Structure 1
Amino acid sequence: MDSLTQIVLGAAVGEVVLGKKVGNKAMLYGAIAGTIPDFDVFASYFTDTVTALSIHRGFTHSIVFSVLFAPILGWLVSRYETYKNFKDWSWLFFWAFVTHPILDAHTTWGTQLFWPLDLRLAFKTIFVIDPLYTLPFLVFLILAMLQKRTAHKRQFYNKLGLIISTSYLLLTFLLKGIAYSKFEAALATQNIAYLDLDTRPSPLNTILWSANVETEDAYLLGNYSFFDSQPITFDSYPKNHELLGNLTEEESVKRMIAISEGWYTITQKKETLYFNDLRFGLLSITPKSNNFVFKYRIDVDASGKLTFTEEPKNNRDGKKLLSELWQRVKGN
């Protein structure tokens, strides 16, 4: 999830653990701890694209990380804070650390919660930014913050924020199940034979859902809004995996295929190949658009070294997508 959401969650968790004893400092340290697992993004400044993608939401988003680093930070804080209980501070950091990847596991990218096991949890029930999850949570956190640390209302507001946000998170599983069944029914009605079906919410909401459908030679992409009145339609995108040729033997290509969980297409522009990660869809819902959210240029230098470079996105693409999504959410 986005940084603001993780700050709010971390602060609320910190309040549960130590709010009665240290007041707003519990929220402050919880908020800080809630952002620490995302420090793995700095890997992109020190390594290549493929390695950075592999690291993202890996070790720092694991139970192992929480267990190892919570006592260290708990000890450091207990050395200079007035409240000296090392165990309590360690518990605050542990719960703020571990709830971060648990929440991230509900997004499309998912997390390696059980690192070093090669298992990524990705429930794909909520977009990385969802105002319906974050804003009510934030409001109740602020209300709690304004109360005295021993006030009953402080605990009430904080717990209410946690209950409402968690309830919404659970609701997203039901919404995903309904959307999934709608896509299944549409595929059956249109007599489309498919190998796999994957669904996810569209940006900023859980009303409009997107589907990736794998067939023998292509992927079908479709959208469904709970306000739709017309049948679901699918647009076909050729896999073009054969364009990779002998590059499929390259380790970096194998890693990219694994990172995308096999949901990728290859496109070619002149002599240049592009690797498109389908899990995050397109920067436009216009049919047959090839403007994928995550698109990587494949380059091979004179020595035969292969590199992936993410194609830049501009603000116009984002604004255009938000405008299109707003219209699409309202139904077809």
Structure 2
Amino acid sequence: MDPVTHGLIGATASQSFADKRNFRAAALTGLASAMLADLDVFLGSTSDPLLNLELHRQFTHSIVFIPIGALIATILLWWFVKKYLTVKETYLFSLAGYATAGLTDYFTSYGVLLLWPFTDTRYSLDIISVFDPLFSIGVIAFAGMAFYKRKQLFAWLALGWIALYLLFGFAQQQKATDVARQLAGDKNHEIRQLIVKPTIANNWLWSIRYTTNDSLHAAGVKLLPFTEPEIFPGDQTVLLNWQEEYESFKGTTLYNDITRFSELSDSVLIRHPNHEQVIGDGRYSMLPTTLSPLWGIKVDTTQPNQHVQFGAYRDAGEEVKERFLQMLF
């Protein structure tokens, strides 16, 4: 989730049990604590590009790490709030704020290692975009009123808005899932893996991806209240059988990096249509109907003992923007 909304949800959690005496200090503590977990974007290695991806939303977002993260936040923030909060209060408000970090990312896509170190499974509900302005505006309005008036009521209204919007997202996802199963059924496809998530900045245009034995299929669907779903047929492509194609490189850094990227991509790997050497994450593209990966790894078989290069391949040209807006509105 975007940093601003992350912080405001943390502030809301802290405001929900603060009193007037320490209300604003509690809000700022919760805000900073919620944003602290995302400092993991700075972890990594220049020589190993995939390490940053593996560490993002990893231990800093784990449930087990919440008390430790709150302690770190308390140490960092205590000198700024000691006039208004005791050490115990600072820790409790930090705990409330930090606890929202992993949970809010869990509602988005890509995945969070909530149960690290017990499992390396990434969990995600895919019911809200990582950036949704309508959702954020509601949080900003209620959290802002709570901060200005120093009243818990508005903090609870903010939490109510968050819950209602997430329930709406869940309902939308169920509708999109029904559409996906219908599309697959009409083509006599047996779904092996189904990925249904909202497109960027909204909750009514949804991306559908599903795999069959050897192929990945894409489609989009617009879900507006009191109207029939509007379906946008999409592309299909062959899934990359990388284990077979790169079997001769087993044991090399190259092969190990492809294995790591496959795990990060939930095993949905395809060739980038515009970059022959790039293996892309087939779950994400600029449009719900296309299979042009947003990011991927460049494989150089002439250097099997070197780490692969990771890159972004976003096509944000006018044609793509126009097509997205046409589907959206």
- TM interval, shorter chain, is 0.7 to 0.9
Equivalent residues of 2:283, 2:293 under 8 A apart: no
**Kept after mapping to 2: 8 A contact 1:108/1:279:** no
- The letter for the 2-side match of 1:14 is S
Match 2:281 to one of 269, 277, 285: 277
Q: 1:64 to 1:132 in 2, by over 3 A?
A: same
The superposition leaves residues 266-316 of structure 1 with CA deviations (integer Å, 9 ceiling, x where unpaired) of: 34778x521110222x2245x6x55321232223554732313213546x4
| Distance 1:23-1:231 versus aligned 2 partners, 3 A rule | closer
1:39 aligns with 39
Show the counterpart of 1:198.
195
- CA distance in structure 1 between the partners assigned to 2:218 and 2:124 by the alignment: 19
CA contact (8 A) 1:13 1:96 kept: yes
Give the 3 Å change call, closer, same or farther, for CA 230–70 of structure 1 in structure 2: closer
Mapped to 1, the partners of 2:112 and 2:67 lie a distance apart of: 16
Distance 1:203 1:230, change over 3 A: closer
For the Cα contact (< 8 Å) 2:239–2:268, is it kept in 1? no
Separation (CA, whole Å) in 2 of partners of 1:229 and 1:12: 35
Counterpart Cα distance in 2 of 1:53 and 1:21: 42
1:63/1:113 contact within 8 Å kept = yes
Query: Is the contact between residue 59 and residue 112 of structure 1 (CA under 8 Å) also seen in structure 2?
Result: yes
CA distance in 2, matches of 1:186, 1:168: 27
Q: TM-score, normalised by structure 2?
A: 0.87
Structure 1 pair 156–261 and aligned structure 2 pair: CA distance change class (3 A): same
Equivalence for 2:129: 127
What is the aligned partner in structure 2 of residue 328 from structure 1?
Answer: 327
**CA distance in 2: counterparts of 1:268 and 1:77, whole angstroms:** 48
After superposition, residues 220-231 of structure 1 pair within 5 angstroms as 220-227=217-224
* Deviation per residue, 1:197-234 (Å, 9 max, x gap): 22111111111111111112210011111256665534
The one-letter code matched in structure 2 to 1:194 is I
CA distance in 2, matches of 1:236, 1:72: 47
Instruction: Measure the CA separation in 1 of the matches of 2:303 and 2:211.
Output: 35
Q: Give the match's secondary structure for 2:34.
A: helix
Superposed, 1:139-178 pairs within 5 Å as 139-147=141-149, 149=150, 154-178=151-175
Matches within 5 A, 1:51-70: 51-70=51-70
Task: Please report the RMSD computed on the Cα atoms of aligned residues, expressed in angstroms.
Answer: 2.5
Task: State whether residues 111 and 122 of structure 1, in contact with CA within 8 Å, keep that contact through their aligned partners in structure 2.
Answer: yes
Deviation at 1:257, TM superposition (A): 0.7
Residue in 2 aligned with 1:85? 86
Partner of 2:299: 298
2:27 corresponds to: 27
Partner of 1:212: 209
Offset of residue 325 of structure 1 = 2.1
The 3-state SS of whatever aligns with 1:173 is helix
Distance 2:271 2:155 in 1: 48
SS at match of 1:299: coil
Distance 1:224 1:268 in 2: 23
Distance change (3 Å), C-alpha of 1:202 and 1:72: closer
| Shift in CA distance, 303/52, structure 1 to aligned 2, threshold 3 Å | same
In 1: Cα distance, 2:202 partner to 2:17 partner: 31
Name the structure 2 match of 1:113. Answer: 114
State the number of aligned residues. Answer: 319
C-alpha deviation, 1:20, in angstroms? 2.9
Q: Which runs of 5+ in 1 are unaligned?
A: none
Q: Which amino acid in structure 2 is aligned with residue 48 of structure 1?
A: D
State the match for 1:253 in structure 2: 258
Separation (CA, whole Å) in 1 of partners of 2:148 and 2:249: 59
Contact 1:137 1:164 in 2 (8 A): yes
Q: Counterpart in 1 of 2:312?
A: 311
The answer to whether residue 13 in structure 2 is matched with residue 6 in structure 1 is: no
CA distance change for structure 1 residues 74 and 290 in 2, over 3 Å: closer, same or farther? closer
Structure 1 residue matching 2:298: 3-state secondary structure: strand
Equivalent position amino acid for 1:226 in 2: L
Distance across 2 between alignment mates of 1:141 and 1:217: 48
